[in-house]
A = this chain, B = another copy of it.
Amino acid sequence: MSQQQRTSAWVAEWVGGRLVGPGDVVVTDVGGLDDAGSGAVSFLGNPRYRDRVLPSKAAVVLVPEGFTEAPPAGRAWVVCADPSAAFTKVVTAFAPPPPTYAAGVHERAVVSPSATVAASAHVGPCAVVEAGAVIGERTVIGAGCYVGHEARVGDDCFLYPHVIGADGFGYDSGPTGHTKIPQVGIVQIDDDVEIGALAAVDRARFGRTWIQRGTKIDNLVQVAHNVVIGPHCIVVSQAGIAGSTHLGQGVILAAQAGLVGHIHIGDGAVVMAQAGVTKDVPPKGAVFGSPAVDRQDYAREQMMIKRIPRLVQSLKDLEARVRELQQRLEDEG
């Protein structure tokens, strides 16, 4: 089926949804509700944007169950369980193919003769792979990435430009200055990991800095020496993890969060944005603030601060009543 013939009926079939309205509305591209043109497929991904569906120019809108407004003339809805996922499927049908990364080492990459790069891996231009490093099958080492000495990268990983396996930041500090502690460990990145642009992963003081299977790391993140990140974690942009801290399975660190060293974050825990975590977080815990406390404690504390003006007023009222009582006693006395 060529792209010219795509219609609202095709959309419903493609995403496995239920068509509401005519099946012959022609669609030619995709767009957000606000900027969609009159041939676009769009979607209602977040209930708070519900009021934007009718004013949108989008020809076809993917909507969730429970969206009951009828489409105006010439437009159609497709009801689906997860409009955001369905939209991703539609985008894929319209989009140009995403960039592919052919197997092989770019002629402008610099790979040490003692490094081991799988035949199916891609090493981009100006990337540097140092001595003894190992790159797994189908892994992409982006343009300009630096993979340090003896680093280990698993299969199916994706390193965006400029990931690093530099030395950990460790010094013995004395009266004559800071003496470097040798950082002789490695970095190990297991299978199916993605690491954002300009993220820094330091090699271990000894042993390994270890990012486990399926974990996704965003841009500009700092992972210090000897950190262990368990499987399937999410570490959002500009978060930082200090040395020897361990994350369990499925942990989420939101943007700009910071963790001190030598603590443990339990499985499934969530660290909110900009939190500063100074001690262990239990499994499924959620912490907020700097220094970080349990989400509920944080909310209570914030509420307390908001009560101060009322406290001041109550105290003034009470002072007036006491003054009055004193006066009465004076008068009576």
- Please state if B256 and A276 are interface contacts (CB–CB under 8 Å): yes
Q: Which of B30, B142, B206 touches A166 (beta carbons < 8 Å)? A: B142
Query: Given the complex, which residues of B lie within 8 Å of A286, measured CB to CB?
Result: none
- Please state if A169 and B236 are interface contacts (CB–CB under 8 Å): yes
Tell me the interface secondary structure of chain A in the complex.
Answer: loop
Q: Please state the number of chain copies in the assembly.
A: 3
Known contacts A126-B126, A149-B99, A202-B219: A325-B318 contact under CB 8 Å: no
Q: Which of B214, B262, B319 touches A177 (beta carbons < 8 Å)? A: B214
Binds B, one of A14-22, A73-81, A303-311: A303-311
Q: Which of B219, B322, B333 touches A200 (beta carbons < 8 Å)? A: B219
Binds B, one of A3-11, A50-58, A59-67, A179-187: A179-187
A274 interfacial by beta-carbon distance below 8 Å? yes
- Please state if A30 and B197 are interface contacts (CB–CB under 8 Å): no
Query: Given the complex, which residues of B lie within 8 Å of A329, measured CB to CB?
Result: 325, 328-329
A329 CA to B276 CA in the complex, in Å?
54
- Please state if B91 and A110 are interface contacts (CB–CB under 8 Å): no
A103 interfacial by beta-carbon distance below 8 Å? no
Query: Given the complex, which residues of B lie within 8 Å of A197, measured CB to CB?
Result: 146, 164, 166, 200, 202
Produce 1/0 per residue, A297-333, CB < 8 A to B: 0000100111111011011001101100110110011
- Please state if B219 and A164 are interface contacts (CB–CB under 8 Å): yes
Residue of A35, A192, A273 most packed against chain B (CB within 10 A): A273
Residues of A within 8 A of B (CB): 30-32, 35, 46, 84-85, 87-88, 91-92, 95-96, 98-99, 106, 108, 110, 124-126, 128, 130-131, 142-144, 146, 148-150, 160-162, 164, 166-167, 169, 171-173, 177-178, 180-184, 192, 194, 196-198, 200, 202, 205-207, 214, 216, 218-220, 222, 224, 226, 231-232, 234, 236-238, 240, 242, 255-256, 258, 260, 262, 273-274, 276, 289-290, 301, 304-309, 311-312, 314-315, 318-319, 321-322, 325-326, 328-329, 332-333
